Amino acid sequence: MSNVSTRLVRLLNMVPYFQANPRITRAEAAAALGVTEKQLHVDLEQLWLCGLPGYGPGDLIDFDFEGDTVEVTFTAGMDHPLRLTSPEATGVLVALRALLDVPGMLDPEAARSAIAKIESAAGEVAGSVAAADPEPVSGHASSVRAAVRDRRALEIDYYSASRDTLSTRVVDPIRIVLVADRTYLEAWCRTAEDVRLFRLDRIVDARLLDEPAAPPEPAVQAETDTSLFDADPSLPSATLLIAPSEGWMFDYYPLRVVRELADGTCEATMTYASDEWMARFVLGFGSTVTVLDPKSLADRVRDSAAKALAAYEPSGG
């Protein structure tokens, strides 16, 4: 057991121990708990800051120190067995089930054992977990996990809620991650030729391919980029050059500054749902916002601007 886990167990046991042994001396308590008197003092200082929501007088664990003795005057419920309410049991079960989707996050057998025990103790509560779970994982999650585990390419049918479209694409799985309480497959998308995140509950179908996954090595080594996420993390992003006069945009739109130039102009990235929407968005700022990437979006903005200008030309040329 790690040092953190050992101390946590000791702290959880200290309150009922001192309640069962009122006015015990620090030396006796330290010897019984297997720590030094200095460590005991640190533990007591820590417990003094723990307690119930509100975290004020009457909420926190309290002790009375008389001479060299210690006595618990308020336990904050630490001397009673843990009894989860229905919402609390549901929350713990949902969290444990979500963590099972993340390889290496925890011992799967330990998590399954904890889930079984909570379900058994919760009784009827367990039956309501499926309805209360905010993230029903698709039935194809097992295929996705197998693709990540075995490093195999995957063909998925993916529903994009922001576009209300269903697309089929071949991806090279990298890892499964948790982002904002949602489970995603991080993969190299061969269609977009870039890393994308796909919500597991929006993968309508998943088919393992008879070929190894081959994501670019830089994509595998890079950390998961969650800074650009807005609604659907599988959305594309654009790199924009924003004039100093439009600095207010950063307070209202999901922009991330990449670098600031000497003249105050900023290079920033922004996610968007469709090229059509993004083109209209950029055109509204005139020459103060320029699309640097992707080229297809820049071309679309340029063509739309040319057509708009042509409409104002005199019919006679």
What does the pLDDT read at residue 158? 87
Reported as type and span, the H/E element at residue 155 is strand 152-160
Is 169 within a domain?
yes
CATH number at residue 180: 2.30.30
Best-predicted range by mean pLDDT (1-5, 93-97, 294-298): 294-298
Same domain, 163 and 216: yes
Q: Convert the pLDDT of each residue in 40-57 to its tens digit.
A: 888 888 887 787 766 666
Tell me, yes or no, whether 96 and 57 share the same domain: no
pLDDT at 128: 43
In a domain, 205, yes or no: yes
- Burial readout 68-91 (b: 16 or more C-beta within 10 A, e: otherwise): ebbebebebebeeeeeeeeeebbe
Same domain, 110 and 172: no
pLDDT of residue 1: 44
- Assess whether 155 and 196 both reside in one domain: yes
The 10s digit of each residue's pLDDT in 181-226 is 567 888 999 988 888 888 887 888 899 999 999 999 988 888 776 5
- Minimum mean pLDDT among 95-99, 190-194, 287-291: which range? 95-99
- What's the confidence (pLDDT) of residue 85? 65
Low-confidence winner among 94-98, 275-279, 289-293 (lowest mean pLDDT): 94-98
Mean pLDDT of 116-121: 72
Higher pLDDT, 255 or 138: 255
> 78-81 long-range contacts, Cβ below 8 Å, gap at least 24?
78/12, 78/15, 78/16, 79/15, 79/16, 79/19
Does residue 21 form part of some domain? yes
**Of 221, 252, 286, which residue is a domain's last?**
221
Higher pLDDT, 72 or 108: 72
H helices of the chain, in order, are: 3-20, 26-33, 37-47, 86-99, 108-122, 124-127, 129-132, 141-150, 217-221, 275-283, 295-311
Residue 27 is predicted with a pLDDT of 92
Is 63 part of a structural domain of the chain? Answer: yes
Same domain, 62 and 11: yes
Identify whether the C-beta of residue 204 lies closer than 8 Å to the C-beta of residue 158: yes
The stretch 223-232 carries a mean pLDDT of: 56
Total domain count for the chain? 4
Q: Which of 72-86, 110-124, 185-199 has the highest mean pLDDT?
A: 185-199
DSSP 51: B
Range of the domain at 294: 237-311
Whether the per-residue pLDDT at 2 is higher than 50: the answer is no
Examine the domain organization and report whether 17 and 68 are in the same domain.
yes
Is 175 among the domain residues? yes
Q: Is residue 316 part of a domain?
A: no
Domain presence at residue 150:
yes
Are residue 259 and residue 301 in the same domain, yes or no? yes
Q: Is residue 13 part of a domain?
A: yes
Q: Are 209 and 243 in contact (CB under 8 A)?
A: no
